[in-house]
Structure 1
């Protein structure tokens, strides 16, 4: 898995970007029937994933599907390609709000007739705009808190179920050799995003399209993140960042925020000496679990839109065997379909089963209206709050103004 894909969980090119730089199905020009479709994926890090999607494409009998594996800045490449006639028919992406509002992607609502309720709503909602579905979720990635059972037991610390308890536990678990908590080398600025706000019972953007954290509770919650930093209970400067579990496995920290993808490695090295938790609730809020998912989308510039839609339906709606294989045979993810996540053997027991439960009960994804401009304003303020102790109320007031202006801009385009 690439870092860009993980970041999807808190997302003017020249012609060179639009040339094929991946692979294909291996089928000859005369193989199969129907039109030739181009399908783009970002470059996954998991061994076997590329060969798997080529195998899926080769099995499709109603079109000839060429798979392109796209290294480099995939999102930039795709955004540029969608403005030309040389782009993909089917591509992996959000899609973004700009792509939807710009008419660059095809409405896929009808593909989920009769099965929409079986898709995890946390990852389907950000692919829905104006009541229509613009991308079909592929797999669910999630973030969660790992803790070392033996270290907590030796320190007389219970697994924290509130943010106050997390702050307290991190301090009590910190020794000369071990830090209590690792949220990333920047103290959590880059990875946490809106997770603490959801834990406080707030949102980034409300369902009616307004700022969801214009509330005193937001400032109180973010101030507690600075306490973690100021108390020196956070691990900083680890050899690898939050997405890699090595700091946790090497005993540098008693608790670490990371992703579901780390679970097999953690389980292999620690056995039963670990547990997983959501980001703990604060005040009257609820536990929070950030989730994300790439979706399969269809370019509006495709010359074979109907055929492309039919292929997407076949692969990501009908072929549940391929969907489970894609999620669990190469990396470690949760299928986007609730029924598949429930029955998958690798997700039925232990920490994996708990992760599925937490995702189902407490999962949230960044809303479609949470644009890059709003996200940048919030992240900059979060950095000043956590690392510099800036006044949370003052910082958030400025962010609310910027995000409100951005939402007004977006609404004018719709």
Structure 2
């Protein structure tokens, strides 16, 4: 096992080193002069930025002081997002580069063809001024032309234009950098602005008419940490309360850190308001951050943790299971404990962080599972990778008689950036077919 971990670490380091060498080559070596200040600064950045990213990733798990985690997080995690989109843009540039060079070659060839072959008019010997008889030096007779001094040395050489290869490298590199920075900038704004409300209606066959229109505010993947703090939590609480839900479901990955460091950031959750209360289930990141301590803390804030248990809500049963990551601590999901002895004539809603447990939900006759975890991919084309590991990446889908809704989440893990997967808080409205 240790050998596998070491080999995986070496492969990851090699991949990161290769990516940064490629960036240095295209953005620094190919666009700057040898020995120049720009090349020296670019070379330093190509070494320092990946080190900051590694520091940001490992600082939380290494017990580093929280202030140091905050210092490393912003530049380190943002660089990871910029790195991704720089690489994608430069790979597109590899296709454009030869086309642009060929276009310039044709333009230059056309320009040269338009220049006359003989651009200098020659004067026949003996017919120019000062060549007639009786003129010239030593004759005492002037031809009326001013005496000009002979040039005393070679004429200054014109400043050479950048080579075609250098020009193309600068155009492609500049365009790639602009596209990457603009993409990451907009994606960061989307996260810091806060999630938007998404509304989804879910019909349930067993839901009684009296519960028609019951509204559940679903929020997942808030990811409080070194970057997203108390202000982020307050934005989410204000947004949820503005929807006036009947019930609030926090479906995991609330934090990336300990209660000691992030307890104050979570305090606004005490302001959540819903007629039938607020409920919480663990996500995988809680088990990286001290799940027991966080379960106790959210209970103190007024949320009810559902640890493999069920409660009766007017019109349906609400159940919650621990995240599968809890299995390493002997606290994984227990569907039998949460769902075995219930009345199956009643509609049921299950809170489970990861969509992958949908097979268990189907087996236990759950009508609707509410999940998160995927972030909708967070950074395109991450949605393609997320689709390989999850049955549903985002939205509502049906599996047999069970429906699965997956939220994109209200925060972000790692880079505080979302591209192609905007954050959301979902207001799920249950509909009775008897209404």
For Structure 1 versus Structure 2, the TM-score category normalised by the shorter chain is under 0.3
Structure with greater contact order relative to length (CA < 8 Å, sep ≥ 6) = 1
Whose Rg is larger?
Answer: 2
